[in-house]
Structure 1
Amino acid sequence: MATNITWHHNLTHDERKQLVKQNGATLWFTGLSASGKSTVACALERKLLEQEIQSYRLDGDNIRFGLNKDLGFSEHDRNENIRRISEVSKLFADSCVISLASFISPYKKDRDAARKLHEEAKLPFIEVYVDVPLSVAEERDPKGLYKKAREGLIKNFTGIDDPYEAPENPEIHLNTHEQSVEQCVDFIIAYLKKEKIVV
């Protein structure tokens, strides 16, 4: 636990918002592996940037190459993975960037903690549930992970031998087996406009 530290800031959040002419927020994409989280988040990031809306995608795999490379996939390590990303995404949102956090994040308590962290900072937190039946995720299986999990080669795999606790009241609920990527992106942007996060 760090002691003798002080939070330093030069600008208030409202001052920064006026200067960069944009709101910050965190969109938290959660769902099974192969549900389409990263695919939708990538397409959304591109569309936002094309509209000159600053955004950045924090992807589950990418983060484990650096910031979280010391973490495995036990429940404890998954908790710590999401805790760290919650803090990083909050910093992005505070800087008036739209953070697109794409993580399986299977445990409700971890997602609730991420939400609380943003709410305490008065920053928008939008849970995006990327929903597909397990059978569809297994059929897609672009990395071959479900096959390995079924063969016992991967332990603690979400949806197979570890649980996925689906969101009960997400702000956005996508069904990627029924909606195209473009439809999902348009749906999210419409929500962001309605909430006045983007114009």
Structure 2
Amino acid sequence: MDQEKNLFAPIFKVTKEKRRVLHGHNSMIIWFTGLSGSGKTTLANELEEILNSKGISTYILDGDNIRQGLNSDLGFSQVDRKENIRRIGEVAKLFVESGIVVLVTFISPFASERKLVRDMVDKDEFIEVYVNCSLEECEKRDPKGLYQRAKKGEIKEFTGISSPYEVPENPEIILETSKNSIKECTESLYEYLKRFL
């Protein structure tokens, strides 16, 4: 508490609005949530390519690369998972302040944690994308072999196997990756996003 008394929010002359003018578009968090193997990173990669071709400044924050660096000190307990999402939310908020569209691909299984990040930014600056893919299909894909390892007990607290996933109740958009191609899903997402950019 004493530390908070010594902290003051700095006032910068270059605002978020001025940075957006410089970039020529709005900034926001596009938050991809879904089970491991549902297609979050693949969709973000495809979307980023489209946005880049339209002159939109972007960056992808992915669960794997963040855990190898910024969050390398965190495990997969409920407490560590919550801190993982809190930290990435704070980083994503900085990207929004910088005038950039940030694509975040995290399983983020709990609704309360996704809401925590949503509440960090202004209205219309957080777009929740639910990448809906059945557990059975994700297990079939299993690109990293994680489901098999989780079933053998080699990975504890694994979402969908030994830890729950709370399906978003009101996401901005749902992409059905077990029913539609990555191209179809990406095009649908881009069409939806155009009104906010």
- Which TM-score bucket, shorter chain as reference? over 0.9
Distance 1:140 1:107 in 2: 23
Residues 41, 62 of structure 2: 8 Å contact kept: yes
Which residue in 2 is equivalent to 1:153?
154
8 Å Cα contact 2:17/2:99 also seen in 1:
no
Query: Normalized against structure 1, the TM-score is what?
Result: 0.93
Write the deviation string for residues 12-37 of structure 1: whole angstroms up to 9, x where unpaired. 22222222211100000000000000
Q: How does 1:47-62 map to 2 (within 5 A)?
A: 47-62=50-65
Root-mean-square deviation over aligned CA pairs: 1.2
Residue of structure 2 in register with 1:21 after alignment:
24
Contact kept in structure 2, 1:57 and 1:99, CA below 8 Å: yes
- Give the aligned residue type for 2:101: I
Length, aligned pairs only: 194
Q: Percent identical across equivalent pairs? A: 51
Cα distance in 2 between the residues matched to 1:143 and 1:76: 24
Deviation at 1:6, TM superposition (A): 2.5
Q: 1:168-183 counterparts in 2 under 5 A?
A: 168-183=169-184
| Counterpart among 7, 10, 16 of residue 13 in structure 2 | 10
Question: Which has the higher mean CA deviation after the structures are superposed, 56-65 or 19-28?
Answer: 19-28
Misfit runs of 4+, over 2 Å: 5-8
Residue 192 of structure 1 aligns with an amino acid whose one-letter code is L
Q: Which runs of 5+ in 1 are unaligned?
A: none
Structure 1 residue 123 displacement after superposition: 5.7
Structure 2 contact 23–57 (Cα < 8 Å) conserved: no
Shift of 1:184: 1.3
